[in-house]
Amino acid sequence: MLEPDPALYPALLERYSEPHRKYHTLQHLDECLAKLPEVRELASHPAEIEVALWFHDAVYSVLRHDNEEKSAEWACASIQKAGLPQEVGNRVHSLIMATRHRAVPTDLDAAILVDVDLSILGAPRARFEQYERQIREEYSYVPTFLFSKKRAQILQEFFDRPRIFTTPIFFERYERQARENLQASLKSALG
């Protein structure tokens, strides 16, 4: 049985605990890992989705534009170091890159990962409002008027999608709440 580097788990926990993070934290990772069982049975490579979840925000800074790429590279290096086949690393890399919010999932495993990552949009209203505050804290250096404008743009892009969630399970369970949350936030941001 192949084993990951024993230093990897503490290193990932340390990254998700960086002080500049307010949303992309262990809370987000925990919430994602808690949602995965809802759709795990649909996956072709469920263990790879779980690895991708652990790494998808491992590198995160609001000042970077290559967070996913750097996270995917770290995941691939870790997979290679563990002695797993290259195709596993390639699939995990693709999964992590699918979490870029303008990316469109190209297969069911990517759709599962993206739905899990975006599940916060369909959270109960109180948790969604906390998420919105956490995102604002991560971007606290941005002036309010500019943040509101850009945030409304991002939320509108999600709202304008024919479906926010790709998997039938997440669509059925979370789509309506996600649209209500986005609509309320858009009203607030544009208000």
For 82-126, the pLDDT digits (tens) are: 999 999 999 999 999 999 977 778 899 999 999 999 999 999 999
What pLDDT shows up at residue 137? 97
DSSP state of 119: G
Instruction: Evaluate whether 52 touches 12 at the Cβ level (below 8 Å).
Output: no
Q: What are phi and psi of 21, to 5 degrees?
A: -85, 135
What is the distance between the alpha carbons of residues 96 and 57, in angstroms, rounded to a whole number? 9
Stretches in the chain below the pLDDT threshold 50: 1
Domains and CATH numbers, the chain: 8-190 (1.10.1300.10)
What pLDDT shows up at residue 1? 43
Q: What is the pTM of this model?
A: 0.94
Tokens 């563990």, residue located: 82
What pLDDT shows up at residue 5? 83
SS3 (DSSP) at 72: helix
